[in-house]
Amino acid sequence: MNKLVLCGFFLSFCAIFESYALKASDCEVCFAVVEKFSAGLTSNEKKDPKVIEDKFRTYCKTAKNKEHRFCYYLGGLEESATGILSEMAKPLSWSTPVDKVCEKLKKKDNQICDLRFEKSIDVKTVDLKKLKVRDLKKILSDWDETCEDCIEKGDFIKRIEVLKPKYVREDL
């Protein structure tokens, strides 16, 4: 009878523990960046934590928005205040799954899983006049464009309308 009770307790404990496993939706930026980054590494590069750290610093130089913020939290940027890059590099060198890597990073810095990707704006269908200036700036930033002389909302809208044919394809 005691074995049956212990077995039931163990199974319920496992079910509770499983429900706390980190999901991609709980830590979307970490999952996306670590998957994208590790996919770009060769099998030889994946074996050495120091090489992984160097490659991640190189990756971070071109990162934008939330990926850039993720790099900052890990210590992949020169201006990063902290450095927990080894907490990602070592598990990757051991072929640890992405969910476990992100789980470990979350334990070190909870902010990592607070990062969320912004919803993308469909420039083809959206009414630019209804967007906020920060959204208009984001569109230009996503296109790697600037608007040096833009002061008012209308200036940003004009700039986007001028650049629209270059970045937005009209499907027939």
Query: Over pLDDT 70: what percentage of the chain?
Result: 87
- Give the tens place of pLDDT for each residue, 50-87: 999 999 999 999 998 899 999 999 999 999 888 899 99
24-114 topology per CATH: NK-Lysin (1.10.225)
pTM for the predicted model, two decimal places? 0.63
10 vs 115 pLDDT, higher one: 115
**Per the structure block, which two tokens stand in for 42?**
């060769």
- Write down the domain spans for the chain: 24-114, 128-167
Question: What Å distances lie between residue 90 and 4, 8, 47, 134, 170, CA to CA?
Answer: 40, 36, 9, 38, 46
Helix axes 86-93, 98-108, angle to 10 degrees: 160
Note the pLDDT of residue 130. 92
Residue with tokens 């476990």: 100
Query: Of 125, 124, 151, whose CA–CA distance to 137 is shortest?
Result: 151
Note the pLDDT of residue 15. 41
